[in-house]
Structure 1
Amino acid sequence: MALDNIVYEAAAKNGVERITFASSACTYPTDIQQERQRLSEDMVSFEERGGAYADEVYGWAKLMGERSLQAYHEQYDIDASSVRIFTAYGPRENETHAIVAFMAKAYAEQDPFPIWGDGEQTRNFTYVKDITKALRLASENITDGTAVNAGISRYVTMNEAVEIIFDYLGWEPDEIDYLTDKPQGVRHRAADTSRAEELLGWEPEYTVEEGIKNTLDWYVEARDKEYVKENLEMLLHER
């Protein structure tokens, strides 16, 4: 949050005309993400008492980044917008994030194949090109600090994601090891993108299958298989 305000202040002092903030789906309360209900922007409110309750420290930092940007818009008349990014992935992402972590484990042929939780928790994995398009359109079309979601509306289980990866690699483990003692985050997460469609004319172009295949093509070309096997644990945990 401190870094966000440093950027906002420098922008205001130097006559920057517009700022688009890369926010997050973690701005939404965790208690409404245990059942399948698509998250809409009005589920977070600064006007209602108790209307904001973000997902841990990261979520609060993003939520306060949004609110600070609105204050700079009001005080300095800077055009402002925020895009709440939902589970982005794509080429050049490292192995500490879910999709590329799954790719690394499958590429290294880890067997038993570990999945945190029971594999039925869902995310709406959204390809990076759809995310960057939403950011550009928000910058061009929103001026008052309004936040919009950028994510697919499909609920994708971890089990479904790894099956897509297995199919594309032509490899499958003999056993999957469900690590139910590991952190799993919220149970379900997917975006209501009605506001983005209305204000930006934006909707995702890439299916999960297309996005994973594009990312896996990059990964296999960029990473040596033996290197991944020998350094898997380091890759999965080193930031």
Structure 2
Amino acid sequence: MKWLITGGCGFIGTGLIRFLLAEGGHGIRVFDNLSTGTRDDLGQVAPFTEGSGAEAPFPEAGEVELIVGDILDEAALSQAADKADVVVHLAANTGVGPSVEDPRHDCLTNVLGTFNALEAARHNGVGRFVFASSGAPAGEVEPPIHEELPPHPVAPYGASKLAGEGYCSAYFRSFGVETVALRFGNVYGPGSIHKGSVVAKFIKEALSGERLEIYGDGSQTRDFIFIDDLVRAIRLAAAQPHVGGETFQIATSQETTVGEIAALLVSLLAAHGVRDVEVFNGEKRVGDVMRNYSDTRKAREWLGWQPEYGLEQGLDRTVHYFLS
């Protein structure tokens, strides 16, 4: 297939590109403003050419092209989607903290940017649109989170992702764009050097000789999913028939506290020679949900997907990546 991946220079994007190139038969166009991922990050996955997207032929199988552009540029994004079979929309303002600090920027990027990506898919006759959502739209609810729970976002980030899900539903039902929204758990793994999420944050703090700061008492829970498991879900969502307009929880159905993650990482780091790592509890962060893990039965039944990596196995591979 011909893939347009917005935010393709980032952690998940490069993981997906690596997977698609190994599978073979895919032409890949990346649309990225380089605000997080870089040319070097993309170059570590594959050689690529740099294009403008204006009336250019779509990359052939095995080729990767980078178009530097912003998802708020409607015309440039529409040009980039020309001749694509599938759009994977990963570009976003990510995280609770940044959305609380600047909710307007979060809204513009995640709501208007997603709208622009959907319009690009609609006007170019793109067959499938995969949207990177999150557990954040569900908000403070009794877990496990499933697709039918009424949403109650806590932070602006959750609200903006919920709006994206709503537009995906509307574009399927109004215009026939086969949208699939994937609610990612807390993704970690090799390639996450630029991530500010908890696993990457803890490892970077430890390797810099800093103490690991847990926001609050560490009892808040998350559902941690390894990058290789996540990109398999994206690949399935891009091709599985009869899933247009649907939303899926993509996680592991395992509830792990942030305190448990910190303790496990301290142990793994010590095994790799990084010893005497200290942990401390800081202030609770505004907008943080206390409990969050997913019921993934729908993804298993509709997409034929389930996670394969255990937490300790995935964390060990992540520590090794950061050390090397």
Q: Where on the TM-score scale, by shorter chain, does this alignment land: which range? A: 0.7 to 0.9
- Displacement of 1:172 in angstroms is 4.6
Aligned pair in 2 of structure 1 residues 136, 91: CA closer, same or farther (>3 Å)? same
Q: Secondary structure at the residue paired with 1:212?
A: helix
Instruction: Map 1:215-234 to 2 at 5 A.
Output: 215-221=318-324
Aligned residue identity for 1:214: R
Instruction: Map 1:138-149 to 2 at 5 A.
Output: 138-141=237-240, 142-149=242-249
Aligned residue identity for 1:163: A
TM-score by length of structure 2 reads 0.60
Q: Distance in 2 between matches of 1:184 and 1:120?
A: 15
Q: Secondary structure at the residue paired with 1:9?
A: helix
- Displacement of 1:92 in angstroms is 2.0
Which one scores higher on RCO, CA 8 angstroms, separation ≥ 6?
A: 1
1:75 is matched with which residue? Answer: 174
Q: Distance in 1 between matches of 2:130 and 2:295?
A: 20
Instruction: Map 1:126-165 to 2 at 5 A.
Output: 126-141=225-240, 142-165=242-265
Percent identity over the alignment is: 28
How many residues end up aligned between the 2 structures? 209
Q: Distance in 2 between matches of 1:59 and 1:144?
A: 22
1:200 is matched with which residue? Answer: 303
Q: Distance in 1 between matches of 2:225 and 2:157?
A: 19
| Corresponding position: 1:120 with 2:219 | yes
Runs (5+) with no aligned partner, structure 1: 45-51, 222-239
Q: Distance in 2 between matches of 1:174 and 1:8?
A: 45
1:101 to 201, 222, 227: 201
1:66 to 165, 173, 176: 165
1:186 to 254, 271, 289: 289
2:121 is matched with which residue? Answer: 11
Aligned pair in 2 of structure 1 residues 160, 20: CA closer, same or farther (>3 Å)? same
RMSD of equivalent CA atoms: 1.9
Q: Distance in 1 between matches of 2:254 and 2:174?
A: 38
Aligned pair in 2 of structure 1 residues 102, 184: CA closer, same or farther (>3 Å)? farther
Q: Secondary structure at the residue paired with 2:245?
A: strand
